[in-house]
Structure 1
Amino acid sequence: MKSLRTLTLLSAALLLAACANQAPPATSAQAGKPKLVVFLVVDGLPQRQVTAYRDQLAPDGFARFLDRGAWFSDAHYGYSFTVTAAGHATMLTGAYPHRTGIIGNEWKDVNTGQDVYCTGDTSATYIGNKTQPLDGTSPRNLKVETVGDVLRRADPRSKVIGISGKDRGAILPAGKTGTAYMYMTGTGEFASTTHYMPAHPAWVNAFNAGKRADRYFKAEWKPLLPDAAYARSIPDSQPWYGPAGGKLPMTMGVPADDKPGPAFYSALLRSPYADVLSLEFARAAIAGEQLGADDAPDILAISLSGHDYVNHRWSAESRLSHDHFLHLDRMLEAFFRDLDATIGRDNYIAVLTADHGFMPPPEVSQSRGLTAGRLSGSQTLGRVNAELEKRFGAPKLAQFLSASALVLDRKLMAERGLQFDTVAEAARAVLAAEPAIAAAYTRRELETGSRAGAPFFEAMRKSWNRDISGDVQYALAANWMMTSSSSIATHGSPHPYDTNVPILAWGPRWVSPGQRAARVEVADIAPTLAAVLGVAPPSASEGRPLPFRGP
């Protein structure tokens, strides 16, 4: 008995010693502020892909997060219309579309019917590049502040830089007071806009003078691994890829081209190479702006757009997407190596997420025995109007679809003496009867919260903004998508394949390693980073701090 007691005491002592040698990350006050927050977004990356290929990862890309950082396996968006702009607006504001005002990538003005682009602002133009009327040039439509805005208000020395292959991927995380740079598909350059500055700084001009995109002209995108490694993915050249097909290796630029041009520069977005360029530009920004070089913390937000383009064109289930993910993994490993050398491993925190997940294409779902398909927006609008005309005797009471909502013609209803709520409820009933529609709710229901507890209601309320959204909000049924001339798969639903995205974090001074299995939301990132930086959360934030230091 004495020997057992002695052994027990010895075991306890060894356990206490081990715990003492494995001190957890310090509290925010003890750890101090990071010199740099590196905020990474992989556009269109569903959580399922992060773990599906874990055995094929490089030692220090995604594995840095999964093996030595914190990763949240059940992280979701809390709203229903999961699209790029809405996601990028949520990440660093901590607010959902009902507060941010970014209800979609584009929508229609409910009063005029005119097109509105999420980051459109005709008062600003791209520097040194052509600007079209609906191009994204400023955060004017973003109604709330970001972590970066709070940080810069607390210390104007802090810098906030947003970089992306897409304008919305750069502008929205950069917030109201940061600076955004985006890839130009006409020239292969990166540009800011006159909203931020009258002319580029010297380091941007030097980067663009290098014509870095041109080195990929007629280059081949080749698979990283032997063919057998892709057995878990859908083979190339599926018939539902359409006439353009899709297979690896893939040459950048069509055979008829004798020099780089807009078609080539645009095509780079559907490959690993635009993301390589974005990370190269990020390295140039670190050097040119001296990010992380003093005691005023900076934020560098980098949204890598290529995966979204690949998944739209060939799906997240494809071999092309599988290989693109592996290329991203190797890019991150090289980027982290450079950050360690230039900023210092103990001086920065890295966080990675995605703006939305991705649905499997209907053909894949059907092959799995699931009900799936594509819904025509114009035909659906026609069916709604036909039913409304039967009941109310007025044609085209539904004007158009906008950001997953139906917009009714208020002027016509007033002329015919029709009650708005009565027509809206009738339109809702027609939409709800569609097999491809999971749920539909009227403006009155969304404003009053009268359908609390109904399917997807809370998520749809968070997607709906009373000032700019339509009159009947709807959500597609699982495995259905709207018809598209450019996408064989997409996103934009409240279903887990679209809402479940990675939240990964690394930074030994602020993050303890391990999987966190509890459900969290992307809105939680903003208040978490605010706490790490020692500032207040953004004023519209509705998230809760994530347990970076353990469950």
Structure 2
Amino acid sequence: MIPRSLFRAAASLLPLLLAACATVTPSPERPRLVVLFVVDGLPQRQVTGYRPQLAPDGLARFLDRGAWYANANYTHAFTVTAAGHATLLTGATPSRTGIVGNEWRDPATGVEVYNTGDTAYRYIGNATQRLDGTSPRNLKADTVGDVLRRADPRAKVIGISGKDRGAILPAGHLGTAYMYMAQSGQFASSTYYMERHPAWVDAFNAARPADRWFKEQWRPLLPEAAYAGSLPDDSPWYGPRGGRLPMTMGAAADSAPNAAYYGSLLRSPFADQLALEFARAAIRGEQLGQDEVPDILVVSLSGHDYVNHAYSAESRLSHDHLLQLDRLLQGFFQDLDTLVGRDRYLAVLSADHGFTPLPEYTKSQGRDAGRVNLREMSARVNAELERSFGATPLVQVSPSSSLVVDRRLAAQRGLDLDRVAEVAREALLREPTIAAAYTRRELERGSLPDAPYFAAARRTWHPDVSGDVQYVLKQGWIATSNAATHGSPYPDDTHVPLLLWGPHWVRAGRVDTPVAPVDLAPTLARVLGLPPPPSSEGKPLP
């Protein structure tokens, strides 16, 4: 990992070099503040499907008075939170960012790696577990914020999220990340960024704002008839805990807020409300957007993903959650108009991924769908490998939708890694739930450009961190104990909102031209008068 001190040194020298070379010409019309909202797990179909029920100035600000891209799709195969958050401001797919999943197995050792895990750093004022996210060490690409801060170290780049990865990855190497602590209800940074919090963070946490929803209820915004198109509450697929509105925050037996209560807020609109309140405190505390130097604020709203995992995007709870979030955004826009100035900021909203429909619901509609047991699938593949090579287990399932060959065992038996991977791939393709599978050699060489999902699999694969066989499940099939999930190259998971508002920089209207989230970073760089991030694969949005 490059020491942060070297980043700071480079940041102090680069403005002089850039001025001498005249490679960056800041526009006099640059926004004072760019605000990126990432709604975790929001498929585009929900934005358009619930449009008649939106508030006048929440999501509707983008749809009615901003630019919205109706055909924005991720182009990598494994669509998960970390990969999407890493893509948005780098303009790069996982094949360049190295963030191939939320977790993955180190191909050399088989040890599990967390995308923002870094044991050299700890959370400030909160307990830190081994796999907690504390730094952007694993991010192999620069963000727009990194380019901005190298051009002018006075610029501030802040990431805020209910998840560590949702804050750290968009904040990049030179920004600052604040994460919701589900054990304490606080927001905290890590020692990668600073040794102690600024006063405004301490003041926010000292007020214990998360406590005020203890024993409060999440109530639906609209009458029952408004949710007629959504799955009813307490559907049998939600598991023993069920799910019904109104929903009380905090267990009946608890007499005071505790870790279980703080964690439960993430499956409600309240954690997102808290994140937006912390963002308001950051705007005030850091004076964002108050001078001629542009700043970047990223607010990743995690609640929708938790709700969709628990109840599915087809549920009434998800439907209502988006409407609640829409009203929260409306209030935040009103405050931005006051705190920063309506004509001084650019707002962007997107998502890190969509959501595969609940398999049981899909089957009820007469379409193929179901659940995959990865442990059983791995056992069948290893049995085939044992028949071929006389050794087992030769592969482990990686959480990044791949298989990793046990290099130690293969070396002991004198086995060729590529041959082991080929046999594993052949065994995978005999599984009735596998749509495609490709070996390390094929992905490195790019030798199958026209094969099904090969291009998407190659964009989701990085040679340093990915497995030896990358696979794709059939559409409608998921591997999780949750009600629903994501992680596929199909439109349910790849098709996300991409919305921009800022009258000085954005022409209003719907755009049907196919675009991708990698196009956002070069677009923002152009607006800010900067070169695009070095690893960017996108092009400015039309």
Bin for the TM-score computed over the shorter chain: over 0.9
Counterpart pick for 2:411 among 409, 414, 429 = 414
SS at match of 2:90: coil
Partner of 2:367: 370
In 1, Cα distance between the equivalents of 2:309 and 2:51?
23
In 1, Cα distance between the equivalents of 2:48 and 2:534?
34
Matched, 1:518 2:525: no
In 1, Cα distance between the equivalents of 2:375 and 2:203?
47
Partner of 1:7: none
Partner of 1:535: 530
Counterpart pick for 1:215 among 212, 220, 223 = 212
Counterpart pick for 1:253 among 233, 250, 253 = 250
In 1, are the aligned partners of 2:105 and 2:404 still within 8 Å (CA)?
no
Partner of 2:3: none
Partner of 2:494: 499
Counterpart pick for 1:98 among 95, 98, 101 = 95
In 2, are the aligned partners of 1:127 and 1:191 still within 8 Å (CA)?
yes
135-144 vs 266-275, greater mean Cα deviation: 135-144
Shift of 1:394: 2.2
Partner of 1:155: 152
Partner of 1:471: 468
Partner of 1:46: 43
108-117 vs 127-136, greater mean Cα deviation: 108-117
Matched, 1:75 2:72: yes
RMSD: 1.1
Counterpart pick for 1:181 among 178, 181, 185 = 178
Which structure's CA Rg is the greater one?
1
Partner of 1:190: 187
Counterpart pick for 2:117 among 107, 117, 120 = 120
| TM-score, scaled relative to structure 2 | 0.94
Shift of 1:31: 6.5
Any stretches of 5+ residues in structure 2 without a counterpart? Answer: 1-24
In 1, are the aligned partners of 2:66 and 2:502 still within 8 Å (CA)?
yes
In 1, are the aligned partners of 2:27 and 2:529 still within 8 Å (CA)?
no
**Per-residue Cα deviation, 1:277-303 (whole angstroms, up to 9, x for no partner):** 000000000000000000000000000
Shift of 1:29: 7.6
Counterpart pick for 1:111 among 101, 108, 111 = 108
SS at match of 1:75: coil
In 2, Cα distance between the equivalents of 1:319 and 1:208?
32
In 2, Cα distance between the equivalents of 1:483 and 1:210?
38
Partner of 1:202: 199
Shift of 1:30: 7.0
Kindly provide the amino acid, as one letter, of the partner of residue 544 in structure 1: K
SS at match of 2:411: helix
Name the CA shift for 1:176/1:29 in 2 (closer, same or farther; >3 Å). closer
**Per-residue Cα deviation, 1:466-520 (whole angstroms, up to 9, x for no partner):** 0111100001110000132xx1100001010000000000000000111111110
In 1, are the aligned partners of 2:27 and 2:528 still within 8 Å (CA)?
no
Shift of 1:123: 1.1
Partner of 1:440: 437
Shift of 1:413: 2.6
Structure 2 matches for 1:397-408, cutoff 5 A?
A: 397-408=394-405
In 2, are the aligned partners of 1:173 and 1:301 still within 8 Å (CA)?
yes
SS at match of 1:299: strand
Which aligned runs of 4 or more in structure 1 are off by greater than 4 angstroms?
Answer: 28-31
In 2, are the aligned partners of 1:402 and 1:470 still within 8 Å (CA)?
no
In 2, are the aligned partners of 1:90 and 1:96 still within 8 Å (CA)?
yes
Kindly provide the amino acid, as one letter, of the partner of residue 512 in structure 1: R
In 2, Cα distance between the equivalents of 1:417 and 1:283?
60
In 2, Cα distance between the equivalents of 1:300 and 1:188?
21
In 1, are the aligned partners of 2:26 and 2:528 still within 8 Å (CA)?
no
In 2, are the aligned partners of 1:271 and 1:310 still within 8 Å (CA)?
yes
In 2, are the aligned partners of 1:82 and 1:498 still within 8 Å (CA)?
yes
Shift of 1:387: 1.2
401-410 vs 512-521, greater mean Cα deviation: 401-410
Partner of 2:12: none
Matched, 1:236 2:268: no
In 2, are the aligned partners of 1:452 and 1:458 still within 8 Å (CA)?
yes
Shift of 1:388: 1.5
Partner of 1:10: none
In 2, Cα distance between the equivalents of 1:398 and 1:418?
13
Kindly provide the amino acid, as one letter, of the partner of residue 525 in structure 1: L
109-118 vs 267-276, greater mean Cα deviation: 109-118
In 1, Cα distance between the equivalents of 2:28 and 2:348?
17
Shift of 1:403: 0.9
Shift of 1:434: 1.2
In 2, are the aligned partners of 1:400 and 1:408 still within 8 Å (CA)?
no
Kindly provide the amino acid, as one letter, of the partner of residue 192 in structure 1: S
In 2, Cα distance between the equivalents of 1:202 and 1:401?
42
Partner of 1:11: none
In 1, Cα distance between the equivalents of 2:398 and 2:273?
37
Matched, 1:546 2:541: yes
**Per-residue Cα deviation, 1:429-465 (whole angstroms, up to 9, x for no partner):** 1111212111100011000011111110011001101
SS at match of 1:194: coil
User: % of aligned pairs identical?
Assistant: 66
Shift of 1:211: 0.6
For this pair of structures, how many residues does the alignment match?
518
Kindly provide the amino acid, as one letter, of the partner of residue 328 in structure 1: L
Kindly provide the amino acid, as one letter, of the partner of residue 304 in structure 2: H
Kindly provide the amino acid, as one letter, of the partner of residue 375 in structure 2: S
**Per-residue Cα deviation, 1:333-370 (whole angstroms, up to 9, x for no partner):** 00000101111111000000000000001101100111
Partner of 1:138: 135
Matched, 1:62 2:67: no
In 1, Cα distance between the equivalents of 2:53 and 2:224?
13
